[in-house]
């Protein structure tokens, strides 16, 4: 367990306090009970049930096909596991864009049915009304700016965002709009480090970076990436803290050999 592991249940207040006191915020994704127990017991502050599950768990090429039912199902398993971390449910494509009413209804489902402690959605000024409605209904909301994977086709691919003055200025404004609409934090994905630093300093709420440099108030990674389980592709911003793909292949290979050679089960595994 990390040195942060013994603090009480994490809330939006603890997250805000960390920013105020200059303590960095740790966030990881999780999509199932067993992984979420390990992530929670290790002492991570926020667990995101990301719609990245579309790619790393469900095997799609993007996050676009992920449904509310997929998200509710996986968020339930993570909520059962998390004793300390704040659990954030990621609102999937088209669950909040159609109308403010639908956005509120779906955000409410994450809280009522899935046991989440908050929700995340992508976008800036275009989702401000939905953000205001959700947060004024008592639901903590995390924004997401920069590379917003649900807009991958409009963005022309998974690219760094905010590289020129015009788009950088727009992102700074969008961050301010989300803060004013009531968001308690904002993910900055694939944003040049100096711009992410400027946004982080300009807000009172914390930023959580992924490919956005060290000046963000916290960091997030996809757990399957950082553990080395997801092999299909590895973005530049991923640091692999383990190579579980190698361990898993070796363990399964050994199991197969032992079954073939009648070495498993041994007497200690038999009745």
The beta strands (E) that lie in the chain are given as 25-29, 46-49, 86-90, 118-120, 141-146, 185-189, 207-210, 218-221
* Burial tier of 31 (Cβ tally within 10 Å: 0-12, 13-18, 19+): buried
Contact status, residue 150 vs residue 169, Cβ threshold 8 Å? no
Question: Whole-number minimum distance, CB 48 to ligand KIV, in Å?
Answer: 6
Question: Whole-number minimum distance, CB 29 to ligand KIV, in Å?
Answer: 5
52 contacts ligand KIV (rule: CB under 6 A):
yes
DSSP codes, 59-117? --SSSTT--HHHHHHHHHHHHHH-SSSEEEEEPPTTSSSS-HHHHHHHHHHHHHTT--S
The strand pairing partners of 187, in sequence order, are 144, 208
d(CA 186, CA 166): 20
197 contacts ligand KIV (rule: CB under 6 A):
no
Q: Which is nearer to ligand KIV, 90 or 217 (CB)?
A: 90
224 contacts ligand KIV (rule: CB under 6 A):
no
- Residue 126 appears among annotated catalytic residues: no
Question: Whole-number minimum distance, CB 240 to ligand KIV, in Å?
Answer: 16
The piece of 16-24, 45-53, 194-202, 229-237 that touches ligand KIV (CB under 6 A) is 45-53
Return the C-alpha torsion angle 191, 158, 30, 223, nearest 10: -80
Contact residue for ligand KIV among 25, 28, 29, 182 (CB under 6 A):
29
220 contacts ligand KIV (rule: CB under 6 A):
yes
75 contacts ligand KIV (rule: CB under 6 A):
no
Contact residue for ligand KIV among 35, 50, 175, 184 (CB under 6 A):
50
90 contacts ligand KIV (rule: CB under 6 A):
yes
222 contacts ligand KIV (rule: CB under 6 A):
yes
# residues near ligand KIV by CB under 6 A = 11
Residues that bind ligand KIV (CB under 6 A): 29, 48, 50-52, 90, 187, 189, 210, 220, 222
């Amino acid at each position: 367990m990390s040195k942060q592991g013994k603090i009480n249940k994490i809330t939006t207040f603890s997250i805000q306090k960390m920013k105020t006191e200059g303590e960095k915020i740790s966030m990881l994704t999780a999509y199932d009970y067993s992984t979420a127990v390990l992530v929670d017991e290790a002492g991570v502050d926020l667990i995101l049930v990301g719609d990245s599950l579309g790619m790393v768990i469900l095997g799609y090429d993007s996050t676009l096909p992920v449904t509310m039912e997929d998200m509710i199902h996986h968020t339930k398993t993570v909520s059962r596991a998390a004793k300390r971390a704040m659990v954030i449910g990621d609102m999937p494509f088209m669950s909040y864009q159609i109308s403010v009413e639908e956005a509120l209804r779906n955000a409410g489902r994450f809280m009522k049915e899935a046991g989440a402690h908050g929700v995340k959605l992508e976008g800036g000024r275009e989702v401000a009304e939905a953000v205001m409605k959700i947060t004024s209904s008592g639901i903590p909301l995390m924004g997401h700016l920069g590379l917003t994977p649900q807009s991958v086709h409009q963005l022309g691919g998974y690219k760094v965002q905010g590289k020129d003055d015009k788009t950088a200025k727009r992102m700074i404004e969008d961050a301010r709009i989300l803060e004013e609409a009531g968001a308690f934090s904002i993910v900055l994905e694939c944003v040049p480090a100096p711009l992410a630093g400027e946004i982080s300093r300009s807000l009172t709420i914390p930023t959580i970076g992924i490919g956005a440099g060290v000046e963000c108030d916290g960091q997030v990674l996809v757990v399957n990436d950082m553990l080395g389980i997801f092999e299909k592709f590895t973005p530049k911003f991923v640091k692999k803290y383990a190579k579980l793909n190698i361990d898993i292949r070796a363990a399964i290979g050994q199991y197969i050999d032992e079954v073939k050679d009648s070495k498993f089960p041994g007497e200690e595994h038999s009745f």
